[in-house]
Amino acid sequence: MNWENVDGVLTVSFDPLFTTALAALFYVIGVSLKRRLNFLSRFCFPAAVIGGLLMDLIVLVFHQHGGMMIKFAPTLQSPMMLAFFTTVGIGGSLRLLKKGGRALIVYLCVCWALAVFQNAFGAGLANALGIHPTLGVMAGAVSLGGGHAAAAAFGPMAEAVGVAGAHAVAVASATFGQIAGGILGGPLATWLINRHKGRISASRDDLYREQQGEGKKAELSDSFDLVKMLALVLILMALGSAASGWFNHQAKEVWNWKNFSLPDYLGAMFVAVIFRSFNDGLKLVRIHERAVGMIAGVSLGLFLTMATMTLRIWDLYDLTLPLISILVLQSLTILLIAAFLLFHLLGGDYEAAVMCSGFVGHSLGATSNAVSNMGAVCERYGVFSYKAFLIVPLCGAVLIDLVGIPNIVWFINFLAGK
């Protein structure tokens, strides 16, 4: 932890260890609040979001009234995300992914359509409200579908073609979206499940069922079982990260896909899926499901809390009433699409509701929101959907960009002269 005076403002910078310690503390607080306040559990509010937002509010108070800036160093956020998605891959298989083929296509097509709609809808609303239509794009797929990374990339691009304030609007809109995406997805899934009263079950292949049966006979016996599974997760994480790096190099340098990037966590997830598929047949490693579940729970809780607690809530001050109106209408539209279109296209069952909560998460915020929402729903109903955790991040973090990025570039260039 470092204390210094920056431009007359006391700035406290937490190192990675202190940041992780605070994330763990506020995750525990989030879990405790969720257990004590029944409505938080009933409507599937993620504990990590509860704890992270509480930390955000404390930072906001110091920023506004204490004359102090607090900075975090979430260095372990990416490794924790890698670890979680690796455990998802270990729980899945190529057979299970193949079973989800139709759902993947349906989900992806809706994501692509939404990416175009968000920009057209945002630009149209901005024009009707008397502000530059490109600012509507900043409050559309740039910030809501793309999150802070896309806001940082496309905000300066819009300003370079003459749209003043585009960067600030994009960043503030991304902050709004990440908060809204983390809050709305769980309650929507709860409403869908209660309204349609379907059976609470999830897709699993036969081999997975067999290994689950074996796992009940072989509970976690000692810490060595946990260490073995941790070693397996770390090895698959490293291989997956290397695979993503190789793939991205090939995509950009050989195939000339300049705007394509495969996140490390998806590479790790697919390496784990491939390993699990081979391991089911060859029986190379005995999978201790309880140990893998413990690793998944810890990594998910920490990385999501860190992702939430590093939001800069004061960025929302850059939003004017017209922009807030656009963001609220975008949010309502996404909820309607998820509830009355996507849910039914995906089959109208429990897994469809889980995927809809993820859809709301990444369509408003980021992949971390999607994972947080789906995790909270699965925890609430006690059934984990590997199909949802395989499909939603793949579509929401990677495949959507095949349409989403060219669509954003076109809208910015087309509207720049208006």
According to the model, what pLDDT value does residue 208 have? 40
Q: Across-strand partners of 12?
A: 3, 70
Is 318 contained in some domain?
yes
How far, in Å, CA of 52 to CA of 46, rounded?
10
Helices (H), 4-163: 16-36, 38-42, 47-65, 77-91, 94-99, 101-128, 133-137, 147-160
How far, in Å, CA of 411 to CA of 159, rounded?
14
How far, in Å, CA of 127 to CA of 144, rounded?
19
Number of domains observed in the structure of the chain = 1
Is 186 contained in some domain?
yes
According to the model, what pLDDT value does residue 99 have? 66
Distances (CA, A) of 275 to 252, 385, 394: 27, 19, 18
| Cβ within 8 Å of residue 35, ≥6 positions away | 41
pLDDT of the chain along its 418 residues, tens only?
788 877 777 888 999 999 999 999 999 999 999 999 988 888 888 898 899 999 999 999 988 876 788 899 989 988 998 998 898 888 876 676 676 678 889 999 999 999 999 999 999 999 999 999 999 999 999 999 888 878 888 888 888 888 888 888 998 999 999 899 989 999 999 999 999 886 777 665 443 444 444 444 445 556 788 899 999 999 999 999 999 888 888 877 777 766 667 778 888 888 998 898 888 888 888 888 889 888 988 998 998 899 889 888 888 887 888 999 999 999 999 999 999 999 999 999 999 999 999 999 999 988 888 988 999 999 899 888 888 988 898 888 777 877 888 888 889 888 876 5
Is 275 contained in some domain?
no
According to the model, what pLDDT value does residue 217 have? 41
Is 270 contained in some domain?
no
311: left (phi over 0), alpha (psi -120 to 50) or beta: beta
According to the model, what pLDDT value does residue 107 have? 94
Q: Give the helix/strand (H/E) hosting 390.
A: helix 386-394
According to the model, what pLDDT value does residue 280 have? 82
Is 117 contained in some domain?
yes
Q: Which domain holds residue 135?
A: 78-203+299-415
Is 304 contained in some domain?
yes
- In terms of Cβ atoms closer than 10 Å to its own Cβ (0-12, 13-18, 19+), residue 239 is middle
Is 39 contained in some domain?
no
Would you say 203 and 96 are in contact if contact means Cβ atoms under 8 Å apart? Answer: yes
According to the model, what pLDDT value does residue 267 have? 87
How far, in Å, CA of 276 to CA of 255, rounded?
29
Q: Across-strand partners of 5?
A: 10
According to the model, what pLDDT value does residue 203 have? 64
According to the model, what pLDDT value does residue 218 have? 46
According to the model, what pLDDT value does residue 96 have? 66
How far, in Å, CA of 305 to CA of 20, rounded?
9
According to the model, what pLDDT value does residue 204 have? 57
| Cβ within 8 Å of residue 323, ≥6 positions away | 131, 135, 139, 169, 172, 173
Is 105 contained in some domain?
yes
According to the model, what pLDDT value does residue 18 have? 94
pTM: 0.81
